[in-house]
DNA sequence: ATCGATGCAAACCTTTTGCATGCAG
DNA sequence: CTGCATGCAAAAGGTTTGCATCGAT
């Protein structure tokens, strides 16, 4: 299953004439092994280094940019100074609950929102192709503390 | 109405022992006059300069930080390198439709989502206090073009 | 053999911070 | 007066870029 994914991404790259370098392979590998995790560029850099130390940070950035453009990954903005990236795996669409106390981020899936989206599309004449939702609040742990 | 707002924000500042400087006044004034617009720090800096040239960029940053902490403003993250700020005016809660072609950002109001929020609160045991939603898509204009 | 991909380090640019001065309370 | 607020310029720090080299095709 993971191998299938890897092959699919490699196909996408080849079909767009991007070379299959060992660096790209390692980056994809790490992303796939952590399907439901999001990485800052630096976090990914360090994680990739464990598998393949010959990958520079600039290469991470350059490839994340390409991967996002090809739809392999997408970028997330939380409210800190980093940008985060995660694999765009279908059936893994999820959003984030951000605790304003401890900063912890909980992921959750949603199948709802379809009706809501349709309403908006009609009203604003805007064809929606994706959405990101962030809920801010206080997590279970932090509510216990006080 | 705008004056009421200004007074309210000044009260908040005073009550927290923040001084009412001419810089803070000018920044609030510009934000209030542009209630439903979001600014990057630099955009706000330039806009404030038209009214009061004696406001440095560092002051903009320092005060936006304070305003956000006091709930006067909140910060938005789109997918570029800037952070954006806008006034938190009740009854003006809105979200953003981001066109992936032209980058234009349309604001929209929502009263819905309450049910959805409650569901999430129960399931994840997470007390939600705010949310941000971004929809990506293609706007009317851009759909016409092709 | 070619030309895109990479590593390294420097450049970039937004945001933050140190410090002397200014001004609200 | 006192101490927070500000301006300026420098520093920080995440991201991008230039350039020589490497390596996939």
- Could you tell me the residue ranges of all domains in chain A? 2-87, 95-144
The enclosing H or E element of B134 equals strand B127-138
**Per the structure block, which two tokens stand in for A4?**
């299938």
Q: What is the pLDDT confidence band of residue A135, given thresholds at 50, 70 and 90?
A: confident
Nucleotide nearest the Cα atom of A54 (by C1'): C7
Provide the CATH number for the domain formed by B2-87 in this structure: 1.10.10.10
Question: CB of A144 within 8 Å of any CB in chain B?
Answer: no
Residue B62: its pLDDT value, please? 97
Alpha carbon B34 to its chain's center? 10
**Per the structure block, which two tokens stand in for B131?**
């949310």
- Within a 10 A sphere around the Cβ of A145, how many other Cβ atoms? 8
Residue A101: its pLDDT value, please? 61
Condensed to tens digits (0 to 9), the pLDDT of residues B76-100 reads 877 778 899 999 876 566 777 777 6
Residues of B in contact with A119 (CB under 8 A): 112
CA angle B111, B115, B117 (to 5 degrees): 90
Residue B118: its pLDDT value, please? 72
B40 touches strand C (CB under 7 A): yes
- Check pLDDT > 60 for residue B33: yes
Condensed to tens digits (0 to 9), the pLDDT of residues A24-83 reads 999 999 999 998 789 999 999 999 999 999 899 999 999 999 999 998 998 887 777 888
Instruction: Look at A44 and A140; give whichever has higher pLDDT.
Output: A44
Crossing angle between the packed helical segments B41-51 and B22-33, to the nearest 10 degrees: 110
Q: Are the C-beta atoms of residues A70 and A12 closer than 8 Å to each other?
A: yes
Q: Are the C-beta atoms of residues A138 and B127 closer than 8 Å to each other?
A: yes
What phi and psi, each to the nearest 5 degrees, are found at residue B47? -70, -40
**Per the structure block, which two tokens stand in for A23?**
């660096």
pTM reported for the whole predicted model: 0.74
Domain A95-144 class? Answer: alpha beta
- Positions in chain C where some atom is under 7 Å from a protein CB: 4-9, 13-18, 23-25
């Amino acid at each position: 299953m993971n191998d299938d994914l890897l092959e699919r991404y490699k196909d996408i790259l080849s079909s767009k004439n991007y070379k299959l370098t060992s660096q790209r392979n390692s980056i994809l590998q790490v992303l796939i092994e952590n399907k439901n995790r999001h990485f800052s560029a630096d976090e990914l850099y360090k994680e990739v280094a464990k598998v393949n130390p010959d990958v520079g940070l600039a290469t991470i950035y350059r490839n994340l940019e390409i991967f996002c453009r090809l739809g392999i990954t997408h970028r997330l903005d939380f409210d800190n100074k980093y940008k985060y990236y995660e694999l765009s795996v279908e059936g893994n669409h999820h959003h984030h609950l951000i605790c304003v106390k401890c900063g912890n981020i909980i992921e959750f899936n949603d199948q709802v929102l379809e009706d809501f989206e349709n309403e908006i599309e009609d009203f604003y004449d805007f064809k929606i192709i994706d959405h990101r939702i962030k809920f801010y609040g206080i997590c279970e742990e932090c509510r216990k503390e006080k």
